[in-house]
């Protein structure tokens, strides 16, 4: 049985058009494959960079101050309306959900690091978010935050981290813990910044007061 008849086939000269057409096709196919791999690598790099930025942002000064301000406000009034600090926390978890929803972050990326925090902060901020939705007639406002909290609650038993419910005692304990951790984090940030700050100008001891050099 003949699988390939090479009679009349030519690589150079007349009749070789089939060979060069096939070669061009293979070159194009290889080029498209390499471009596709580069694009996939670039997307993966951007996703991980965004995740790292979110991780860093949670412990950076702005969000740490937002958590401190929010916890103090909720301790003073459980029914406090949403403000800029609360919105910053809600947006953070909404952005995290977006990465998960697009398939960039798996369950193993979410649950160990954010499973507890997301649930607790939604229990604390959820009522304010819902009131704000109704007041502004925007049903999807920070919906990603709520959906991520729902996801974490559903997966919690598998990770032995909940799920969590809230009452007055737990609320007070969570707020106290949030305030303590935020203050400790701010102290660490200020200490690090002081170490990184450039030294001030050297003062010449021979310079007389009131008579600058």
Cα-trace Rg, the chain: 29
Q: Where are the alpha helices (DSSP H) in the chain?
A: 17-59, 61-76, 84-101, 107-136, 143-159, 168-196
CB 110 within 8 A of CB 96: yes
Q: Is the peptide bond before 163 cis (omega within 30 degrees of 0)?
A: yes
Q: Is the predicted pLDDT of residue 52 greater than 80, yes or no? A: no
Domain residue spans of the chain: 58-196
Considering the entire predicted model, what is its pTM?
A: 0.70
Question: How many Å apart are CA 28 and CA 21, to the nearest integer?
Answer: 11
Question: How many Å apart are CA 91 and CA 95, to the nearest integer?
Answer: 6
Indicate the burial class of 166 (C-beta count within 10 angstroms; 0-12, 13-18, 19 or more): middle
Q: If pLDDT is split at 50, 70 and 90, which confidence band does 2 have?
A: very low
Decide: helix, strand or coil at residue 211.
Answer: coil
Q: Is the predicted pLDDT of residue 186 greater than 70, yes or no? A: yes
Summarize pLDDT for 18-48 with one digit per residue, the tens.
Answer: 666 777 777 777 776 666 566 555 455 555 5
Q: What percent of the chain has pLDDT over 90?
A: 55
Of the candidates 53, 43, 127, which has an alpha carbon nearest to the alpha carbon of residue 92? 53
What local confidence, expressed as pLDDT, does residue 27 receive? 77
**Look-up: residue for tokens 């909940």?**
162
Indicate the burial class of 126 (C-beta count within 10 angstroms; 0-12, 13-18, 19 or more): middle
């Amino acid at each position: 049985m003949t699988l390939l008849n090479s009679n009349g086939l030519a690589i150079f000269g007349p009749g070789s058009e089939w060979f060069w057409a096939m070669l061009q096709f293979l070159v194009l196919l290889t080029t498209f494959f390499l471009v596709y791999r580069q694009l996939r690598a670039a997307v993966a790099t951007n996703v991980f960079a965004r995740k790292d930025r979110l991780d860093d942002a949670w412990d950076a000064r702005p969000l740490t101050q937002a958590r401190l301000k929010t916890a103090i406000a909720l301790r003073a009034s459980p029914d406090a309306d949403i403000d800029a600090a609360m919105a910053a926390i809600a947006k953070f978890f909404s952005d995290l959900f977006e990465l998960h929803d697009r398939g960039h972050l798996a369950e193993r990326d979410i649950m160990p690091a954010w499973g507890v925090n997301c649930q607790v902060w939604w229990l604390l901020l959820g009522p304010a978010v819902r009131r704000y939705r109704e007041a502004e007639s925007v049903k999807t406002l920070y919906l990603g935050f709520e959906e991520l909290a729902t996801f974490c609650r559903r997966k919690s038993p598998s990770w032995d981290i909940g799920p969590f419910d809230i009452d007055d005692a737990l609320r007070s304990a969570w707020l106290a813990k949030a305030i303590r951790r935020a203050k400790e984090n701010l102290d660490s940030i200020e200490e690090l910044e002081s170490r990184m700050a450039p030294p001030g100008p050297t003062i010449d001891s021979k310079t007389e007061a009131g008579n600058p050099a």
